[in-house]
Amino acid sequence: MRLLRFSYIRTRSLLVLALILTAASALFSFTAISFLGFYKTFSSYLGEEEDIVAIYDRKSDTPFTGLVSMQLAVSVQSLQGVLAASPEVIVPVIAKGESMFLRGVVPAVFAKLTKLCLLQGDQLRLEDSDSVMMGIRLAERLRMDAGEKILAFAVLAQSYVELEVKGIFESKTALDDEILAPIYVGQWMRGIDYDHVTLIRVKIERSLVSPSRIFAELSREASEPSQGNEEGDGQQGGIVTWPRALFSIEDIGVEGAARFMKIYLDNYGVTEETILILSIMVFSLAGASVISASKTLIQQHKGEIEVLRSVGASNRTIRTDLLAKVLPWSVAFSMVGTGIGILALMIFERSGHLEVLSHGISFQFDPLILVLQLIVSSLIVALGILSSLRSQV
C-alpha cells in the first residue's frame, strides 16, 4: 500500500520538532566551526606553507616560551636550498589595557618569509629601535594610527618600552593581531640576551633541502663547537652576532611550521578528530530533546496511524512512509540551524569577541560539518520515530 500521496502529517505539528532541531543544529555548527577555527588559527600561526620550517626548543611547553641560539640561523643559512632564516622573538605584552604579542624580527629577512601590505606609514628597519609596525586588526582594536606612540609592558620580564607606530600593515594572517619590532626590542622585552630567540623560521626549497637535512647540519654544529663564532662580536646579514651559546641537539627540534604548531596541540589532545567528536557529543546531548520531539510528533498523529492500520497498512509501510515524510523536513531544519550558527559566528567574528591567545579566529566553513550534521540529525529523528512506533505496536 502506498501512502505517500496521503498528507496526514499536520504542518503545525512539526513546529516543535522544527524549533528544537534548528536550535540543536545551530549549536552543533557554532561549536564545531568555532573549535575548528581555533585549531586552524593556532596550527597556521607560523604559516601553512610547506616551504616554511621552524627550528624550536623541544623542552618548551608552549611555542612562545622556548629559547634557541640565534646563531643557528647563521648555521643553516649556508645550506643549499635555504632561501632565508628568520630569527624571531615572540613576547606577550600588555598595552592600553589589552594583551597582545610583540614579535621581534630582522625586518629585511622577515620580509622574505611573510608578505606585508603597508597601509599607513613606513616600513620598519632594524635600526628603528624605538619604532614598531602594527597589524591592521590590532590597530583597529586599539584605535591607533601611524605616528602615534604606545607604551608596552612585558609579561615575562620586568621591562617596558615606549614605541612609535611607524606603520600599519596587513598580511591576512595571525600577524594582523601583532606588533612587529626590531629583534633587539623583542629580546629586551623577553628579558633574554642577544644570542637567544624564541624560534627560527626557515624558508627552504624542498627539492634541494629538507627538515632532516637541516637537523643533520645542526647536529654537526652541536658536535663541533669550535666551528661557531667564538671571536666576539660581529655582523652577519645585518644581525649583530655574539659568541655562540652552547646547545644540545636533543633540545632542538626541526619541523614544518604547521606541523610544529600541531605538535603542541597534540600534546594536549587537541586534534581535528577530537574536535569533531566533541561537537557531535554536544549535538547528541541536545539530541535527547530531538528524540522527545519526534516521539511527540508521532503521539499527535496516533489517531491517523491507527486509521491507516485499520485499513490494512502494515507497520513496515507506516514506518517507511513516516520517515519519507518527516526526514526531508529534518534535513531542511538542520540546514536552517547551520545557517543560523554560521551567521552567529560571523557576527561574533566581526565584533572581535572571539580570540585565541590574543589573535582573532578566522572561521572557514567545512562541508564535512554539514554532512555530519545532516547524517546525525536524520539518525536521531529516525530513532525517535521508530522507537515511538514500536511502543504503539
Residues 248-260 pLDDT 10s: 888 888 888 777 7
pLDDT at 227: 47
Q: What are phi and psi of 171, to 5 degrees?
A: -125, -10
Structure confidence by residue, pLDDT tens digits, 114-159: 889 999 999 999 999 899 999 998 999 899 999 999 999 999 888 9
At 47, the pLDDT band (50, 70, 90 cuts) reads low
pLDDT at 25: 86
17-31, 152-166, 346-360: least confidently modelled range? 346-360
- Let me know: does 60 contact 215? Beta carbons within 8 Å: no
Quick one: 296 exposed, middle or buried, by C-beta within 10 A (0-12, 13-18, 19+)? middle
CA distances from 366 to 32, 323, 347, 372, 373 (A): 9, 28, 18, 10, 11
Q: Please say if the pLDDT value at position 229 is more than 50.
A: no
Structure confidence by residue, pLDDT tens digits, 260-299: 777 766 666 666 667 777 777 777 777 778 888 888 888 8
Mean pLDDT for 29-36 is 80
Q: What is the mean pLDDT of the chain?
A: 81
Residue spans per domain, the chain? 11-43+271-392
Q: Please say if the pLDDT value at position 228 is more than 70.
A: no
pLDDT at 44: 63
* DSSP notation for 37-56: HHHHHHHTTT---TTEEEEE
160-174, 198-212, 310-324, 374-388: least confidently modelled range? 310-324
CA distances from 292 to 8, 43, 67, 316, 364 (A): 20, 40, 56, 22, 33
At 245, the pLDDT band (50, 70, 90 cuts) reads low
Q: Please say if the pLDDT value at position 352 is more than 80.
A: no
Quick one: 12 exposed, middle or buried, by C-beta within 10 A (0-12, 13-18, 19+)? exposed
